[in-house]
Each structure stands twice: as C-alpha cells, then as structure tokens.
Structure 1
Amino acid sequence: MDSRLITVRTGSRPTVADITSEAESFVAGRGDGLLHVFVPHATAGVAIIETGAGSDDDLLTALDDVLPTDDRWRHRHGSPGHGRDHVMPAFVAPYATLPVIDGKIALGTWQSICLVDPNGDNPTRSVRLSFLAG
C-alpha cells in the first residue's frame, strides 16, 4: 500500500472542498486497485457528491438543518455550536473507498470527492490518500 498526506485549506467557515484532482493525481498510472480517502479529524468528513451546481451548499444547509449550531450540545469548547461538528462524522463519514481502474478513479459523471469541514476553528485539514493495488 502507498499512502500520502495532503493538506487542504478550508478557511474559517464551513466548507465543502473538492479534492478530486489531488486524488486523481495520486492514482494516475497505478493500474487497478482501491483508493481510500481518510480525514484524520474528529470534526470533518468525506462525501462523494456533485459540486459546482449548488449541491455542496445544499449539503452544508442540510447539515445545519439536522445538526444546528446552537447551545444544545454538551461538547462546548470552541466556537458556539461546535459540539455539532463532533457529531457530524456520524452523518458524513471520515472516509471513502473508491475503485481505481487502469489508473483512474471510477467516479460517476457528476461525482467528486469532497472534504466536508463544518468547523471554522481549524483553517487547514489533512487528508490521507492510500492506494492498494489490485
């Protein structure tokens, strides 16, 4: 297995960051296998979604609807409502595994690999890309 850690700047607001190009570069020329994408953070996740047509903003809105940033959370350090950020990975898992065929990620037409970061307290995130040859 080969693995690489990349850094993604997410800024100070909730964001959905498309990391597909970094993942494509990582698997290019490797043949068949599996790409595993993992976010080693307690308050971030990985989603396979369409981007650029509003779905990324819709995902953040849906997370706000399901997990509001108010004072209901027992986990209270950080910015107001930060406790919900620690619950979010139960809804948006911190990993995804995708097939790689002939050095290309087998994504659907509109699918992208995205880092989902609702936590504005951490402006940068790490993402581990791992390739397991088939």
Structure 2
Amino acid sequence: MTSSTQSFSTRTFELTTGHHEAAVDLTSRCETFLAEVAPGRDGLLNVFVPHATAGIAVIETGAGSDSDLLAQLRELLPADDRWRHRHGSPGHGRDHVLPGLVAPHATLPVIGGRMALGTWQSVVLVDTNVDNPVRTVRLSFLGG
C-alpha cells in the first residue's frame, strides 16, 4: 500500500455579471487554477459562490443551453410581487430561491490535473440578481 500526501489549495476571484441575468462560463478559470496548483495530480475541485442569490451549474454552453436555463428560471421564478422577501428590485425574492434550484457549489473530479468533464460540459455561474453585479467565486482543490 502506498500513501500519498494530500494538499489543499484555494483561491478567490471576482467577476462582474452586470445588471442583467447571466450564465458565465468559468471553465477556463477553473482550468487555469488547476494548471497552477494541481499539474498532473488527481483530486477534487470545488467551485463555490458565497452569495445567497447565485449558483453553479455544470451544463453545455454556446449552443443555447445557457440561455435556455435562464429562460426556464424566469418561468419558474418570475420577477414579480409574489415573493415574501421584498428588498431590492421588484421580484428580487426569486433570486434568494435560486440557490435551492441551482446549488451555490459544484464538486468535480480532477484526473491528471484536469477536470473530468463530459464532452459538452462547462462550469457556469448562474446569476439572476440584477442588484449585485459583482460576484466572488472560490476555487478549491483537494488532492494528492
């Protein structure tokens, strides 16, 4: 039996999503992080957004799926006055429900220093909150 030493690396960065709903592809930022902290190593990458009104999804991008996701979220969570949470823009309460549907984190396998994503999968920040245009994302790698 061999033993390996586990290590943990973490980093945050900010990005601006603007004052409109957004699905922002984070895949290249994740890849750059792993190239720096985990070259050739196996482990887990956790992507976390420490906000009560945003989430992380693993979806296809560039073929309309990201726009479809935002459109479906608008149907499921309309920006109207039905929400009890009422500060901010009209309908802002829906933004606080979003993380119940799109979790604020994703944990992905890392093999040989690269995310083991499917062919069409990307890591995406989902943000429906038009009141908070700046988001923080935390990337953490745990591996051997």
Structure 1: state its 5+ residue gaps.
none
Deviation at residue 6 of structure 1 after TM alignment: 1.1
Which runs of 5 or more structure 2 residues have no equivalent in the other structure? 1-7
CA distance in 2, matches of 1:30, 1:83: 43
Separation of aligned partners in 1, 2:29 and 2:40: 14
Asked if 1:125 corresponds to 2:121, the answer is no
- When the two chains are superposed, the root-mean-square deviation of aligned CA atoms in Å is 0.7
Letter in 1 for 2:81: D
Offset at 1:124? 1.0
Structure-2 residue corresponding to 1:66: 76
Of 61, 64, 77, 1:54 maps to 64
Letter in 2 for 1:9: T
Give the drift of 1:9: 1.2
Q: 1:44 aligns with which of 54, 57, 66?
A: 54
Give how far 1:8 is off: 1.5
Query: Aligned with 1:121: secondary structure?
Result: coil
Select between 87-96 and 28-37 the one with higher mean Cα deviation. Answer: 28-37
Partner of 1:12: 19
Tell me which stretches of 4 or more aligned residues in structure 1 moved more than 2 Å.
none
Look up the equivalent residue of 1:96 and give its one-letter code.
A
| Counterpart AA for 1:23 | C
Q: Which amino acid aligns with 1:83?
A: G
Normalising by structure 1, report the TM-score: 0.98
Deviations 1:9-54 (A, max 9, x none): 1000000000100000111215100000000000000000000111
Letter in 1 for 2:93: G
Q: Which residue of 1 aligns with 2:5?
A: none
Secondary structure of the equivalent of 1:93?
coil
Within-5 A mapping of 1:67-106: 67-106=77-116
Larger radius of gyration: 2
Q: Matched residues in 1 for 2:89 and 2:41: separation?
A: 44
